[in-house]
Amino acid sequence: MVISATAWASTSTAPSPYESLAPRVERGVIDQRIFARLAALHIEPAWPVSEAAFLRRVHLDLIGRLPTAEETRRYLDDPEASKRARQIDHLLSRPEFAEYWSLKWSDLLRVKAEYPINLWPNAAQAYHRWIFGALQQDLPLDEFARTLLVSAGSNVHHGPVNFYRALPSRDPLSLAKAVALTFLGTRPEAWSQEQWSGMAGFFAQIGYKSTGEWKEEIVLWDPTLSPTAGIGPARFPDGTLAHLSGDKDPRQVFADWMLAPDNPRFARALANRIWAWVMGRGIVQEPDDFRADNPPSHPELLDELARELVASHYSLKHLFRLILNTQAYQLSCVPQSTDPRAAALFAYYPLRRLEAEVLVDALNDLTGTSETYTSAIPEPYTFVPADVRAVSLPDGSITSTFLELFGRPPRDSGLESERNNRISAGQRLHLLNSTHVRRKIEQGPRIAELLRGPPRGVIDGIYLAVLSRPPTDDERQTVRATVKPGPNGARAAALDLIWALINSDEFLHRH
C-alpha cells in the first residue's frame, strides 16, 4: 500500500521506503550549522533518505523530471559509495537543467506576452531564449544580473531589455521596486519612502522608443531625461548619496554598487533563493522578503552560502552542487520530531506538491502522450507543437486547462508566492475522474509497454516508472490479490494500479 502524505509523520521506527538507517554524516560547514542548531534545541533530525527516494528527489529538484524505470534500476544496482555525488554532477550537465531553471527564472522575471505585462510573443520568446542560454552556459549570476540591469536595444532582438518592459507600469519607482524584489529580495513594505525615492533615481533616465516594426520597441538610456524629476537625487539603499555624471548610465552606477564584492546584499538574496528552491523554504522565509523584522533562521549559514557564491564567481551550479551534497539535503521527508520548529530549522526534507508543469510532463512521460497548449495571441503560433514539454514553454501566456487548474502562476508580480502548489478539490477530482487522465492511462503507448511481461515484472515495472522505486513485498501481495479471473483480469488490475499510484500523495509530491 502506498503511504499517504498524512501518514508519513506517524510511521513506526522501522524504515519506510523513503528512509535509510545509514548513519547521518556531517559533510561540511552547512551540515555543521544545521545539526548544531538542531542539537542545541533537542530536535531530532530525520533519518537519511533512501537511495530510491534520493534519486527521484534530485531528478525533480535539478531537471524537473522523473527518472525512468531503467535509470532507477541502473542507479539502485550501482554499488559505488560516490554514486549520489556523480548523479548530481550528471544531472547538472543535462540539457533539461537549463529548461527547468528557465521556468523558475521566467516566473520571477515575468516572461509573459499578455496583459498586464504585455511583452507580446516575439519579445517574450526572445527573453526566454536569453534566460535559457544564460543557464545553459552557467553564466555567472552577477553577469546575469548586470546584463539585465544595464540592457539596451530592441525588445525582439535583445531579450534582456524586456526586464524593463515586463511590468504593468514603467515609472522609475516601479522599475526600482522590480529591481529590488528580483535581486535584493526586498518588497515595498521593507523600506521607507525616502529609500525607494532614492533608488528610483537610478532608473529615471530609461527611455522607450517605438520603431517601424510591429510591436518592436527600443529600450535605451536617455540622458536628456531629468535624473531627479518627481523623485529626488539618487541614493543607494544604505542611504549613501550617489555621484552621477552625465556620461555614465545611472543604472551602471547602481549595478556597480549592488555587485561590489564588499556588498553582501545581492549574494545573500540569491543564495537564499537557491537554498529555498531546493530545500523548500528560505533561510529568510519568504525568500523574497528580506527586512529587519524577518530575520534569517541561520544567519551564519546564510553568510557562508553568500561567501561560497562569491568565491565560485557566482556559479549557480556550484551552489546547487554544494547544497545537494549535504546531509541536510539528503535527509528523509519523514520527521522524527514533533517540535513545531523542526520544519523551519531543516530537520527533514519538506513535502511539496509537484509544480503544474512538472506534473503534467510526468504524466506525459509515463504514458507516452502529449498535451495541447494554446496561446491567446496567435503569433508565432496559436497551437504549440505536440513534443514541447510544459517546463519548456517560452511564454506564460501559452497555457492549458491542466496548467491553470494546477496552480501555474500568472507571472504578474515576480513574487515566489504567485505559484500555488496546494492540492485542491478540483485537482483531486481531475486526477480521479477526468477523461483527460483516464485516456492517458488506457491509451498511452508507454503504458502498453509496461503491461508486457510476467506479472512480477509488470508490478515492479509500474512501481519503478510511477514512483521511482521497487514495490515492497506487502505491496506486491496486495496488488496480486486484486487480480480477478478472466482473460483481461491482469490488465485491468495493472491499469487500476497505475491509476491508484498516480493519485497517491507519493506521486504528487516531492519527497
Q: What domain count does the chain have?
A: 3
3-state secondary structure of 118: coil
Average pLDDT for 282-292: 96
Task: Give the domain-ending residue among 297, 331, 350.
Answer: 350
Query: pLDDT for 384-430, tens place per residue?
Result: 788 899 999 999 999 999 999 999 999 999 999 999 999 999 999 99
Section 184-210 average pLDDT: 94
The reply to whether 301 falls in a domain is yes
What pLDDT digit, counting tens, does each position of 45-92 carry?
Answer: 999 999 999 999 999 999 999 999 999 999 999 999 999 999 999 999
Largest CA distance in the chain: 85
Q: Give dist(CA 307, CA 305) in Å, integer.
A: 5
Residues in the chain: 511
- In this structure, is residue 103 part of a structural domain? no
Confidence of residue 120 (pLDDT cuts 50, 70, 90): confident
Query: Which residues touch 446 (CB under 8 Å, ≥6 apart)?
Result: 365, 366, 367, 368, 465
- Asked whether residue 202 is assigned to any structural domain, the reply reads yes
C-beta of residue 181 within 8 angstroms of C-beta of residue 187: yes
Please indicate, yes or no, if residue 128 is contained in any of the structural domains: no
**Are 287 and 389 in a shared domain?**
no
In a domain, 132, yes or no: no
* pTM confidence score: 0.93
Could you give the 3-state DSSP secondary structure of residue 133?
Answer: helix
Residue 15: which pLDDT band, with cuts at 50, 70 and 90? confident
Q: What is the pLDDT of residues 218-250, one digit of tens each?
A: 999 999 988 776 577 899 999 999 988 888 999
Cis status of the peptide bond prior to 286, with omega within 30 of 0: yes
Average pLDDT of span 191-208? 93
Claim to verify: residue 245 and residue 301 sit in the same structural domain: no
The residue from 350, 376, 411 where one domain ends is 350
290 and 362 belong to one structural domain: no
Structural domain harbouring 46: 41-96+265-350
**How many other C-beta atoms can be found within 10 angstroms of the C-beta atom of residue 428?**
12
